[in-house]
Amino acid sequence: MSAIREAIREQPRGRLIVVEGIDGSGKSTQLHLLDKWLRHLGVLVFNTEWNSSDVVKEITSKGKKKGLLTPTTFSLLHATDFADRYERNVVPLLRAGYFVLADRYVYTAYARDAVRGCNPRWVRRVYSFAVRPDAAFYYHVPVEVAVKRILTGRPKLKYYEAGMDLNLANDEYESYRIFQSRIIEEYKSMAATEGFRVMDGSLDIELQQAQMRRQVMELLPPAAAAVAAKELAPA
């Protein structure tokens, strides 16, 4: 028994790396590239994405279709989704030494739910069980840039995605623009207190990735860090 406990204790703790930013900020691309790099270095990696748990998917889509969702139920369903991924994957994998890469984390809830009109303090309390990430990268882009990336080709925006439930504008593209800019304001207001690593999402993808990798290097286990240091030698 004590040998088992010993082995568990010696297992190095994993790391939680989070990307945040509005749609079209390029955060998912950056996280994807980081994932490839970490795997190349031999690091154990697990990816988890906002609103992706099977448990609530059907209910959320039913609620959206029928227009039943209020800011409170919308918030609680996202929290349920988060808790499911958190309890099932994030916690055990961090314990097992994985690098957990989260495409959106609690900050997405803080930002969106606040814009939708939930009590910001309540939202933070609901998510109070979530561990602080080792690094939270916030990809900042001007709203016009992000909106242009998303709206190129004039895709059909979904009702809630466009923030139409907020009655910001009659036109869904205009509503989307206002909704996204409000979310940016929320991100900005929490950047300092939450310790965001603010990244310039309008730079070249390669340059952004190099900056991200340099910051993540401090978090790597020694063996992986040594390999990375050689490969990332400043040009």
Partner 1 sequence: MIRSGKAMGPRALTFYGDGIPSLKGREIKGRLIVIEGSDGSGRSTQVDLIMAKLESEGHAVATTGLKRSELIGKGILTAKQKLPLGKKTLTLFYAADFADQLEHKIIPALEAGYIVLADRYIYTLIARSTVRGTSRKWSNDLFGFTMKPDLVFYLDVDPGELFHRVFQKYAGLDYYESGADLGLSDDLYDSFVIYQRMMAKEFKAMEKKYGLVPIDANRPVAEVNADLQGRIDRFLHDGV
The least distance separating partner 1 from the CB of residue 31, rounded to whole angstroms, comes to 24
The least distance separating partner 1 from the CB of residue 209, rounded to whole angstroms, comes to 34
Contact 118, 72 (CB under 8 A): yes
Which residue, 69 or 199, has its beta carbon nearer to partner 1? 69
Contact residues for partner 1, defined by CB under 8 A: 54-56, 58-59, 62-63, 66, 68-73, 76-77, 79-80, 83-84, 86-88, 117-119, 121-122, 125-126, 128-129
Per-residue DSSP letter, 17: E
The least distance separating partner 1 from the CB of residue 225, rounded to whole angstroms, comes to 33
75 C-beta neighbours (distance < 10 Å), count: 23
Which residue, 67 or 195, has its beta carbon nearer to partner 1? 67
| Whole-angstrom distance, CA of residue 164 vs CA of residue 148 | 19
Which residue, 51 or 72, has its beta carbon nearer to partner 1? 72
Contact 178, 163 (CB under 8 A): yes
Which residue, 87 or 200, has its beta carbon nearer to partner 1? 87
What are the CA-CA distances from residue 109 to residues 124, 168, 176, 196 (Å)? 9, 19, 17, 15
Take residue 229 and report the two structure tokens written for it.
Answer: 């240091």
Q: Got the DSSP string for 40-100?
A: HTT--EEEEETT--HHHHHHHHHHHHHT---HHHHHHHHHHHHHHHIIIIIHHHHHTT-EE
3 C-beta neighbours (distance < 10 Å), count: 7
The least distance separating partner 1 from the CB of residue 219, rounded to whole angstroms, comes to 26
The least distance separating partner 1 from the CB of residue 178, rounded to whole angstroms, comes to 19
The least distance separating partner 1 from the CB of residue 67, rounded to whole angstroms, comes to 11
| Whole-angstrom distance, CA of residue 162 vs CA of residue 80 | 22
Which residue, 87 or 174, has its beta carbon nearer to partner 1? 87
Which residue, 25 or 53, has its beta carbon nearer to partner 1? 53
